[in-house]
Structure 1
């Protein structure tokens, strides 16, 4: 028997386990389906692509996407301590003030959430009105500084965009080099930052390689979880609460398997209904992304990282190409006049990025492209079977709203414009798999053919519909959801840092602590 059982040791789960177990009178159990994060590859930033479709990846994909020529899109998700923060590109972005203010949820405005971002942070640039030091999560400037990343930023400036040396500061618009979650050149995942320092506490138990099959109930109150390690069934009891932190795909999947979801679907699959809640699994959002890839003859891409001397440099000094997070540079811009905040983000990497990260680089290359930050299209996650080991049916419905497709066409057009600037001339000798022309028709077809996920799913257990403003599942007792699935709308940027901030605030809510005082930042507009 534990006070709190947390399902999922990803970004949110690691934060919750660490923060809740700070109270020595509270017993916490953190349950993770995957293994410990002991693989050396997890901690080498440039190697995260090698983790795709391995035992530390849930290896999900969408069903055929109707607006992407029926293609199935690969969706990597971390299945390991640290979750997706152990296999992601480590970009530290908070999003825009308008994102949080637009949620319309009490306690979740930008000013109210900013102190939780700051509490988590240990920024190597030092403390400021927007940044913190001394927190568990290291935020650092990238150490790779590939010449192509610098050239990309210069090209964006040549194309007329402003510079920005802090996307999490007073303004979000502009181009620059990203800060990353790295410590001494190595990945600083949520497990490294929050969980490992807490694992020696006697009141915290971490169970790995345990797949949770359902939440157990006594009437309408959650009492624990039922799962298995290999063929051994495990029952873990929660005296106070069960907290589901399994991510935007797996959290609604688990709720539905537990009897919380659309009653018609659950009955059809012979799942006993605990609560008819049709919004569980709906409202799925993501940032669609279209890469442009340019091959060249300059021996400066991350292909050089296989040279043993760079492995030695990484081990001895924490520098060199193996510290690259791939997406080293980028920026935020508005695809049309009159928008209140950026609706597009560029990410650029000094490598040939093909097939959603599954393709092998064959040449020295640079890859960059836009992702849509404010999609109108909505998808869904539903169980396809009452067998808890069966994967969910996921459909993002990318470009279901044609406005999304029009915006992505403009994003590709802007990327092609940047590619023609003089600073990128040495690195854009040959385009690989680009559009046939820059006509609207050809760009639309290219977007349908080349769209991949930007790995930012949210919204499937949203505040205001599935959970309340304290993240309690509405209609039952003793059950919360704490992860990216509770975001009513996706934020303008990478979702890892916001997920950590959500969990930081959730820990205070769960323990009944006073919320951190809203930030008194006069100029705290990131619009």
Structure 2
């Protein structure tokens, strides 16, 4: 029996466990389906792709995507302490101030969120109007600084785009190097930042290898959870609240398994309907991206990191190519809408990156491309089985809305334009399976064949529909959702930093504290 039971030890769950257990008078139980985060591959930044399709990955795929020539899209999600923050690209981006204002939810404007970003942050650049120091999360400059990533930024400037030294400051648009969630050249996950420093608290219990099957209720009040720990069924009671932080795909799945979701889906599966909630699992959004890949003969890509000398360098002083987050540089631009906020984000990596990271690189290369930042297409997460170990059914519906494909085409044109600039020319002479021409039809064909996720799903338990503005599930008591699924609209950028800030704010709401 605990005061709070938190389902999922990802970016949100680790923050909540750390903040709620600051009060020694309350007890907190954090539950994670996967193992601890002690595998070496987790902490070596450049190695994150080695976790794909392993025991550390939920290993999801989308349904056949009609606008992608019927392809399924690989959707990795972290399954260990730290969740996807233990296997992501470590880019520290907050999104655009307009994103939060456009949510139109009381308490969630950009100005109201900024203190939570700053509170969590320990930025090596120091304290400023936009950045904090002394928080649990290390935010650092990258230590790899691959020359291809520098050439990418120089190419953007040569093409007339502004350079930007801080995407989280006054202005988001422009090109530059990303800051990363690393400490001394090693990955800084939500687990290493928030959870590990407080594991000795007597009021905090962390259970790994424990898959939650459903939330339990008495009348309409959440009272705990039932799940299996190493095949043993266990019930855990929550005296105050159950908090679902299982992620964009698993949180709606868990709500449905608990009887909260579309009655037309739950009834035929034999799941008793507690609340007929048609919006659970709807509103799925993500950033689709189609990368350009340019193989070359310059021995400077991340392929060199296999040399034992670079492992010694990493172990001794936390520097060298093994510290690379792969996508070291990139930028934001408006290519289609002409609005004040960017509509594409580019990520550039000094490696051959194909098939969503599943194909092994076969030569030195640079890979980069634009993702659609504010997609209008909406997908869904649902279930096809009452078995809690069955994978959810995920349909992203990429490019279902024509406007998204139009933005993607212009983002691809931008990428091709950068390849022609003098700073990148040494690395972009021999494109791998490029578009047949620069005609719009050929660019669309290329995008359909090559689009993958940018790993930024959101929106499936959104505020304003499934949740109220304090993240409480409508129709029941003592149950909240806290993760990227609560976003009504996807932010313009990588989602890890926003999820941490959302959890910081949620912790204050749960504790009844005044806003930061």
- For the superposition of Structure 1 and Structure 2, which TM-score range results when normalised by the shorter chain? over 0.9
Question: What aligned pairs does 1:382-461 form with structure 2 within 5 A after superposition?
Answer: 382-461=382-461
User: What secondary structure sits across from 2:423 in the alignment?
Assistant: helix
1:170 is matched with 170
User: What secondary structure sits across from 2:105 in the alignment?
Assistant: coil
Instruction: Give TM-score scaled by structure 1 length.
Output: 0.98
2:463 is matched with 463
User: What secondary structure sits across from 1:233 in the alignment?
Assistant: strand
Deviations 1:3-28 (A, max 9, x none): 00000000000000000000000100
Q: State the alpha-carbon separation in 1 of the partners of residues 359 and 269 from structure 2.
A: 37
2:196 is matched with 196
Q: State the alpha-carbon separation in 2 of the partners of residues 121 and 229 from structure 1.
A: 34
Q: Could you tell me how far 1:336 is from its partner in structure 2?
A: 2.7
Q: State the alpha-carbon separation in 2 of the partners of residues 229 and 449 from structure 1.
A: 41
1:329 is matched with 329
Q: Is contact 2:164-2:174 (8 Å) kept?
A: yes
Question: What aligned pairs does 1:102-117 form with structure 2 within 5 A after superposition?
Answer: 102-117=102-117
1:147 is matched with 147
Question: What aligned pairs does 1:179-218 form with structure 2 within 5 A after superposition?
Answer: 179-218=179-218
1:510 is matched with 510
Q: From the superposition, tell whether residues 337 and 502 of structure 1 become closer, same or farther in structure 2 (CA, over 3 Å).
A: closer
Q: State the alpha-carbon separation in 1 of the partners of residues 149 and 264 from structure 2.
A: 51
2:489 is matched with 489
Q: Could you tell me how far 1:337 is from its partner in structure 2?
A: 5.5
Deviations 1:27-84 (A, max 9, x none): 0000000000000110000000000011110000101011101100000000000000
1:520 is matched with none
1:234 is matched with 234
Decide which moves more: 127-136 or 225-234: 225-234
1:523 is matched with none
Q: Could you tell me how far 1:230 is from its partner in structure 2?
A: 2.5
1:11 is matched with 11
Q: State the alpha-carbon separation in 2 of the partners of residues 338 and 390 from structure 1.
A: 44
1:282 is matched with 282
Corresponding position: 1:265 with 2:260: no
Deviations 1:214-260 (A, max 9, x none): 00011111000100022200101000000000011000000000000
Q: State the alpha-carbon separation in 1 of the partners of residues 159 and 111 from structure 2.
A: 34
Q: State the alpha-carbon separation in 2 of the partners of residues 279 and 400 from structure 1.
A: 19
Corresponding position: 1:83 with 2:83: yes
Q: Could you tell me how far 1:425 is from its partner in structure 2?
A: 1.2
User: What secondary structure sits across from 2:242 in the alignment?
Assistant: strand
Q: State the alpha-carbon separation in 2 of the partners of residues 337 and 404 from structure 1.
A: 11
Q: State the alpha-carbon separation in 2 of the partners of residues 451 and 338 from structure 1.
A: 24
Q: State the alpha-carbon separation in 2 of the partners of residues 176 and 15 from structure 1.
A: 29
Decide which moves more: 423-432 or 369-378: 423-432
Instruction: Give the CA RMSD over aligned residues.
Output: 0.6
Q: State the alpha-carbon separation in 2 of the partners of residues 427 and 253 from structure 1.
A: 44
Deviations 1:93-141 (A, max 9, x none): 0001100000000000000000000000000000000000000000000
Q: Could you tell me how far 1:428 is from its partner in structure 2?
A: 1.0
Structure 2: any 5+ residue segments left out of the alignment? none
Q: Could you tell me how far 1:426 is from its partner in structure 2?
A: 1.2
2:375 is matched with 375
Q: Is contact 2:377-2:401 (8 Å) kept?
A: yes
Q: State the alpha-carbon separation in 1 of the partners of residues 495 and 382 from structure 2.
A: 22
Q: State the alpha-carbon separation in 2 of the partners of residues 181 and 250 from structure 1.
A: 24
Corresponding position: 1:128 with 2:123: no
- Structure 1's consecutive aligned runs of 4 or more residues displaced over 4 angstroms after TM superposition are none
Structure 1: any 5+ residue segments left out of the alignment? 517-527
Q: State the alpha-carbon separation in 1 of the partners of residues 343 and 493 from structure 2.
A: 9
Corresponding position: 1:41 with 2:38: no
Instruction: Give TM-score scaled by structure 2 length.
Output: 1.00
Q: Could you tell me how far 1:340 is from its partner in structure 2?
A: 2.5
Q: Is contact 2:331-2:347 (8 Å) kept?
A: yes
Q: Could you tell me how far 1:146 is from its partner in structure 2?
A: 0.2
Q: Is contact 2:336-2:406 (8 Å) kept?
A: no
2:93 is matched with 93
Q: State the alpha-carbon separation in 2 of the partners of residues 507 and 123 from structure 1.
A: 22
Q: Is contact 2:337-2:343 (8 Å) kept?
A: no
2:253 is matched with 253
Give the paired residue count.
516
Q: State the alpha-carbon separation in 2 of the partners of residues 441 and 298 from structure 1.
A: 33
Q: State the alpha-carbon separation in 2 of the partners of residues 68 and 167 from structure 1.
A: 31
